[in-house]
Amino acid sequence: MKAAVYQNPYEIKIEEVPKPEVKAGRVLVHFKTGSICGTDMHFYRGDWRWMKRGRIIGHDACGIRDDTGERVVMVPVVNCGHCYFCLRGLPTYCIHGKFYGLTRDGFFVESKALPSRALISVPDNISDEEAAVVEPVALALRVLNHLQPNLGDWVTVVGQGGIGLLMTQIALLKGCRVIAVDIEDYCLELSKKYGADIVINAKTEDVSKTIRKLTKYGSDFVIEAAGIKETVEQTPFLVRKSGKVVLVGESKGYLNLEDADEAQFFTMYISAIEYPFAVELISRRLVDVRGLITHRFGLEQIETAFKTIDDPLNRTLKVIINR
């Protein structure tokens, strides 16, 4: 059967791999649709040298259970439940856990054997493409649930790609006032569409000065969703004293904390806990993922898909991979 396999930076190939062995406690799932996210682009570009050569990629996908014919979302993070971190309510950092698509072979393969607890049913009113974009919704839920903003709090979301636009949507659902920051007008237009109170183009405005003028003291919360060194290093100048800054995913950069008195900085990753509620939000049309989909490719076109994302002129947000 065919699978999308990482070989080297800028080299992902479709290869023939053995069919999975379905052991006790596992379910065979046939891949239908997936999506490529920023994490995939990090190892595609060679940012993460630890990515294993020969690894099957993909961690945001849906498929069909072989035993029941039911459509399901495949959850990429599976924890053991009894290690040091699991027992402290931190399953994302499970010592024995599996992260499909990173530390274990992922979902961009024709069939995959998975534990039944890693499968979430998809309601009929969610399309396959929408079901392939659950992971960033779950991540946005995790971030905003951790921040626990009050109604009317200022939330600045730096970066309005697929992740940032979902952070913007969830923050608005929480009753926050949202400042959306990006360098591309087409992304900021979507931010306005989803209801952002203020949009700032960082190419034409001084972001820090504008936010201080708008909020007086600085933003109550800052979510760094661009994932680049320059925006990471900007965050201490955007947050108010004793505010909170979330650095989403793997971040690099030097933080000048001279004036960020008592502000809290922390990183945030996905966990399995938020997946069921993410599916429910999509089903109830409280979050829009369909409007983020800009490109579609077949599984055998995976190389073209990555090259398309890597060229900023293509204006990609969420790129879908269909079987």
49 pLDDT above the threshold of 90? no
Write down the pLDDT at residue 318. Answer: 96
Q: Give residue-wise pLDDT tens across range 93-145.
A: 889 888 899 889 999 999 999 999 999 999 999 999 999 999 999 999 999 99
Tell me the residue type at 185.
Answer: D
What's CA 195's distance to the chain center, in Å?
20
Q: Give residue-wise pLDDT tens across range 232-286.
A: 999 999 999 999 999 997 777 888 888 888 999 999 888 888 999 999 999 999 9
State both tokens at 148: 């626990």
- Give CA–CA dist 138/287, Å, rounded: 11
Whether 280 maps to a domain, the answer reads no
182 pLDDT above the threshold of 80? yes
Q: Give residue-wise pLDDT tens across range 196-220.
A: 999 999 999 999 999 999 999 999 9
- Give CA–CA dist 314/136, Å, rounded: 21
CATH code: domain of residue 218: 3.40.50.720
What range defines the domain where residue 180 resides?
Answer: 137-268
Are 119 and 176 members of one domain? no
Are 28 and 64 members of one domain? yes
Whether 76 maps to a domain, the answer reads yes
Tell me the DSSP string of 130-187: HHTT-HHHHHHHHHHHHH-PPTT-EEEEE--SHHHHHHHHHHHHTT-EEEEEES-HHH
Are 142 and 264 members of one domain? yes
Are 147 and 264 members of one domain? yes
Q: Residue 24 — very low, low, confident or very high, per pLDDT cuts 50/70/90?
A: confident
42 pLDDT above the threshold of 90? no
Average pLDDT over residues 151-158: 97
State both tokens at 296: 């579609």
Are 254 and 304 members of one domain? no
Closest CA to 239 of 226, 252, 258, 267: 258
Q: Give residue-wise pLDDT tens across range 76-88.
A: 999 988 999 999 9
Q: Residue 157 — very low, low, confident or very high, per pLDDT cuts 50/70/90?
A: very high
In sequence order, what are the residues at sequence separation of 6 or more whose Cβ sits closer than 8 angstroms to the Cβ of residue 142?
A: 268, 269, 270, 271, 273, 274
**What total of structural domains would you count in the chain?**
2
Q: Do residues 237 and 208 make contact, with C-beta atoms less than 8 angstroms apart? A: yes
